[in-house]
Structure 1
Amino acid sequence: MRKFGFLFIVFALVLSACNSGGNTKGESAGKTESGGKDGKVELQFYFPVAVGGPITKLIDQLASDFEKENENIDITPIYGGSYQDTMTKVATAVQGNNSPDIAVLLSTDLYTLLSMNAIEDLTPRFSKEYFDDFYEAFLGNTKSGDTVWSVPFQRSTIVMYYNKDKFKEAGLDPEKAPSNWNELREYAKKLTKADGSQWGIEIPSTGYQYWMLQALSLQSGENIMSNDGTKVMFNQPHVEESLQFYMDLGQKDKVMPKGTIEWATVPSDFISGKTAMMFHTTGNLTKVKNEAAFDFGVAFLPANKQFGSPTGGGNLYVFKDIPDANKEAAAKFIEFLTKPERVAQWSIDTGYVGTTKSSYETDILKKYVADFPAAAIARDQLEYADSELSTYQNGQVTKIFNDNIQAALLGNMTAKEALEKSQQQAEGILKQFQK
């Protein structure tokens, strides 16, 4: 879905190694030849597994299909675990002059990777028409200025899932999800059981609480960071209003568990009926579809002043310190993965949003959406989506923000205190990158 303080530590180690007699710019040994068997180009493809479902089997099949079409290229998928674990492994490999050829990493890792001088400029590798096919909301986290550094792959937004059976039991219209914050609060009260056996709503408060607060903030006003990775606007009034609403659901309204709500357990709580509604990534849509034993709906996140959600998920990056033959093969693999039919099938198999307009014109995705309209919600919400939080030293900035948000959700800080502290700490980190 992300990236925390230890990424900053890894980055610091990289810099330390470079400054203490290790490889310096222009002196890196790197990969000087493709080293393939029988003249083949061999690509290492680092991949995270961040949501439920048979992701590894899908990737293995895609790699096999590509090799059948390109007999001179071998793909070796390397599964790194979570996004954070995969990023750590990639950073370690870059530090050790054994850079991967291609990787799926968070779209928000852009500035960290640029700081490491690790990734290849992809602007000249593909045509303008190729990039124009991607939804605009997904392109924000791929660029710095006009330079394209990655290609959208498994991308998401946050959506609302709701249990239609629970709605019926509570006397609510099962075909009408709450459309604004007031309705969300009212519905959640009706759906919460006094004995604690069922909550009205669960919004995760670990791992990605910054992402959830960013969604609420986009529903209330402007985004929370600049587009160049150098500034954050955490302490703005609309962000404070949003954090207070997030806090009140558990502390005041008592329609959500107070305190810590684990990211990974929220979908399980929804599937088991412990919560009637949840905010979560659309990347879990297929898991919910396959495992829920009840009729459920998917809807836009409720609006405050407007609808809004940050995008999320991973992009495809090609690394700089590899042979030209590997770069060409990696670009060919990216083109293969982003063909309309494959984007469509990936969306069906995983629940991620089809990243290209052309994917929704394929017969298979048209039929899937017609049979399962929930699959179109995240795509339609892109009209109101904006870039996810991404800055220089992003792991450190995100950890600070996450920690302070969680302190507020636990009742240890006021919303204002948490946001002022986050702003002050983030400004201290980012000032060196400001012109």
Structure 2
Amino acid sequence: MKKVGLILTAVLACLVLLGGCGKKTADADKDTTTNVKSSKKVTLDFWSFWGSGARREVIESIIKDYNESQDKVKIKYSYQPWGDIWTKSLSAITAGNPPDVIVQDINSVAQRADAKQATDITKYLDKGINKRFYSQLFKTTQYQNKTYGLPFNTDTQVIFYNKKIFKNAGLTDKDLPQTWSELDAVARTLDIKKDDTFTRIGFYPLWSLDTQVWALNADGGTSWFNDKNQVKIDTKNKRKALQWILDAQKYYGKKTINRLEAEFGSGVADPFLSGTVAMRAQNINYYTSIKENAPKDFEFGVIQLPEFQKGSGHKTWGGGFTLEVPTGAKHVKESVDFIKYLTSDKVQEKFGAASFDIMANKKANTNLINGKQLDETGQMIYKTADQAMSSTVLTPIPLSAPDYNNLVNEQIDAALLGQKSAKQALKDAQTAVENLVKQHK
């Protein structure tokens, strides 16, 4: 999910601008919501991008349970391909025939609320429903003190490590890195280099995580913007974070990094699963890939992201998705009732057990940790994720700078390509984003 935020930033910036364009209709986008008089049921069209595998199976099972649990509403599930779902939903909203419930990116709720693409559902919610969720997740659903959706699932970034490699190197649980300096020391212990070629890499920070995660980890949980939406890109600790990444790149060499990057995501050829990489930072549900592709004797553990320095906190990044009622939906109350069902304890527990997503509902995660639905390894991972959620930072996209990530990434890429120093890259990024904010004001 980490990459989701970066992809969606550009897409969502375009969607907000397109929201005011002329109406557009297409038969493929027409809503099939009807009030079926013969059955006296309201049909709700529910859109998501879960089109295959465990997520498709479990959401269809959940919908079946809901349809059979009452006789007033029928949920029709509409799969929309990833990447298409948000542009299609905007077209449907503009045309006045949107879906009734849709899965949306959690870090861009305010954008849709401000652009009048999402419905204020505050009056339909039970008092205290916010207590179901991790506080930072529910906070992202708020715009001008109103609620525009409910959190569904989330993620958090951790480090997976190969237990056998650690053991063979003489490292025990006491040696698991808790700070960046310890992470470097352990990585050097696990590195294997023959002549000029690394045959094993201890740890490289940009495999699956981007600079933003390490920057906020180093800066006490403050990302490119602080809580007051002030630009905080060029700070002392963020410079140190980017320099640390550049040092790691120089140490391993671009050829080695590029070679292994090409192998990540290729199932059984995954360098972490093959033992070529000893530690890998990843979203917690990387476990699903391990279960599918790892050798039978593969042993691994999970730890939180190490602290920048002792006492600074194991800060990490999270994303995820919300359930929203698009503007113009005809059956808001019924739609919100379905959303409340999808975020209830048992339903969230069922989805989490099948998908291995970290659910927005705290109690559901606790039940998965302590219940019998998961094996010992699964419970361990959920427990680590639950602990990490207290240090997990979300990064809602500021209304004043919807496409700021492009400007930041351009400068960071320049540093990684050796065109700029860490100091100069972040200074230029700070200036570029500040100018963007001024333009929007």
TM range (shorter): 0.7 to 0.9
Counterpart residue number, 2:114: 115
Confirm whether residue 278 of structure 1 aligns to residue 283 of structure 2.
no
| 1:249/1:256 contact within 8 Å kept | no
CA distance in 1 between partners of 2:306 and 2:207 (Å):
18
Q: Show the 5 A alignment for 1:267-346.
A: 268-293=270-295, 294-304=298-308, 305-323=312-330, 326-346=331-351
In the TM superposition, what whole-angstrom CA distance separates every residue of 1:64-95 from its partner, at most 9, and x where no partner exists?
Answer: 2211113332323333343x443333223323
**153-162 vs 271-280, which moves further:** 271-280
CA distance in 2 between partners of 1:188 and 1:86 (Å):
41
Give the letter aligned to residue 99 of structure 2: P
Q: CA deviation at 1:290?
A: 4.4
Counterpart residue number, 2:405: 398
CA distance in 2 between partners of 1:170 and 1:65 (Å):
51
Q: CA deviation at 1:300?
A: 0.5
**177-186 vs 289-298, which moves further:** 289-298
**373-382 vs 217-226, which moves further:** 217-226
| 1:240/1:419 contact within 8 Å kept | yes
Confirm whether residue 362 of structure 1 aligns to residue 360 of structure 2.
no
Identify if the C-alpha distance between structure 1 residues 89 and 405 changes in structure 2 by more than 3 Å, giving closer, same or farther. farther
Counterpart residue number, 1:43: 44
Give the letter aligned to residue 118 of structure 1: Q
Confirm whether residue 98 of structure 1 aligns to residue 105 of structure 2.
no
Give the letter aligned to residue 143 of structure 1: Q
CA distance in 1 between partners of 2:252 and 2:100 (Å):
50
Identify if the C-alpha distance between structure 1 residues 262 and 392 changes in structure 2 by more than 3 Å, giving closer, same or farther. farther
Identify if the C-alpha distance between structure 1 residues 78 and 34 changes in structure 2 by more than 3 Å, giving closer, same or farther. closer
Q: CA deviation at 1:101?
A: 1.7
Give the letter aligned to residue 417 of structure 1: Q
Identify if the C-alpha distance between structure 1 residues 315 and 173 changes in structure 2 by more than 3 Å, giving closer, same or farther. same
CA distance in 2 between partners of 1:175 and 1:368 (Å):
30
Total equivalences in the alignment: 416
Q: CA deviation at 1:145?
A: 4.5
For the residue of structure 2 that corresponds to 1:213, the secondary structure is helix
| 2:369/2:380 contact within 8 Å kept | no
Counterpart residue number, 1:54: 54
| 1:251/1:258 contact within 8 Å kept | no
CA distance in 1 between partners of 2:263 and 2:151 (Å):
23
Counterpart residue number, 2:238: 239
**145-154 vs 405-414, which moves further:** 405-414
| 2:221/2:316 contact within 8 Å kept | no
Give the letter aligned to residue 193 of structure 1: I
Counterpart residue number, 1:8: 13
Give the letter aligned to residue 148 of structure 2: W
In the TM superposition, what whole-angstrom CA distance separates every residue of 1:361-408 from its partner, at most 9, and x where no partner exists?
Answer: 537853457823222111111222222252227652222223332332
| 1:344/1:365 contact within 8 Å kept | no
TM-score, normalised by the number of residues in structure 1? 0.84
Identity %: 22
CA distance in 1 between partners of 2:430 and 2:371 (Å):
44
Counterpart residue number, 2:64: 64
For the residue of structure 1 that corresponds to 2:152, the secondary structure is strand
Q: Show the 5 A alignment for 1:160-171.
A: 160-171=159-170
TM-score, normalised by the number of residues in structure 2? 0.83
| 1:142/1:148 contact within 8 Å kept | yes
| 1:121/1:149 contact within 8 Å kept | yes
Identify if the C-alpha distance between structure 1 residues 174 and 221 changes in structure 2 by more than 3 Å, giving closer, same or farther. closer
Give the letter aligned to residue 46 of structure 1: W
CA distance in 1 between partners of 2:283 and 2:263 (Å):
10
Counterpart residue number, 1:27: none
For the residue of structure 1 that corresponds to 2:361, the secondary structure is coil
| 2:192/2:201 contact within 8 Å kept | yes
For the residue of structure 1 that corresponds to 2:45, the secondary structure is strand
In the TM superposition, what whole-angstrom CA distance separates every residue of 1:263-290 from its partner, at most 9, and x where no partner exists?
Answer: 9728833233332211111133333244
Alignment gaps of 5+ in structure 2: none
CA distance in 1 between partners of 2:200 and 2:50 (Å):
30
For the residue of structure 1 that corresponds to 2:96, the secondary structure is coil
| 1:34/1:42 contact within 8 Å kept | yes
Confirm whether residue 76 of structure 1 aligns to residue 83 of structure 2.
no
